[in-house]
Amino acid sequence: MSDQKNFHPLAVEKIGSELALAWSDGSESFIPLEMLRQRCPCASCAGEPDVTGHVVTPKPVRGPGCFDLLSWQTVGGYAIQPRWGDSHASGIYSYRLLKELGG
Ligand SMILES: [Zn+2]
């Protein structure tokens, strides 16, 4: 990708049970909400390396409505932070990760 620096979504939309993104390079991604939540990159869901670099994966925090995407906001021009139905909202998904999840 030659224009990596300016790579960003032109449009983000929730369509049914998927998050649809139209990217600045003309491509599109459709990410099932369930997969999106399962790949939540926050420390409580994905874990953090301890002092030895070993990543302990915690039991993911999931409550009722955890796969319902209520809203989202863009963060720092490089990521999207979704808010879920169980009020979990600490996952910050970089555009790169979203693109990867959307195939
Ligand atoms: Zn999380």
CATH value at residue 44: 3.30.2020.30
For residue 26, the SS3 value is: coil
Bridge partner residues of 30 (DSSP): 20
Residue given tokens 């409580």 in the structure block: 44
Per the structure, how many domains does the chain have?
1
Q: What's 53's DSSP letter? A: S
2 Cα to the center of ligand 1, angstroms: 31
Q: Which pLDDT score is estimated for 12?
A: 97
89 Cα to the center of ligand 1, angstroms: 7
Q: Which residues are near ligand 1, the ion (C-beta closer than 5 Å)?
A: 40, 42, 45, 91
Q: Which pLDDT score is estimated for 68?
A: 97
Q: Which pLDDT score is estimated for 15?
A: 97
15 Cα to the center of ligand 1, angstroms: 22
3 Cα to the center of ligand 1, angstroms: 29
Give the tens place of pLDDT for each residue, 46-98: 888 888 888 887 777 788 999 999 999 999 999 999 999 999 999 999 999 99
Cβ neighbours of 7 (radius 10 Å) = 16
Q: Provide the sign of the torsion angle of the four alpha carbons 90, 76, 10, 24, taken in this order.
A: negative
Q: Which pLDDT score is estimated for 50?
A: 85
Domain around 82: 4-102
Give the tens place of pLDDT for each residue, 1-32: 445 567 899 999 999 999 999 999 999 999 99
Q: Which pLDDT score is estimated for 75?
A: 95
The predicted model scores a pTM of 0.86
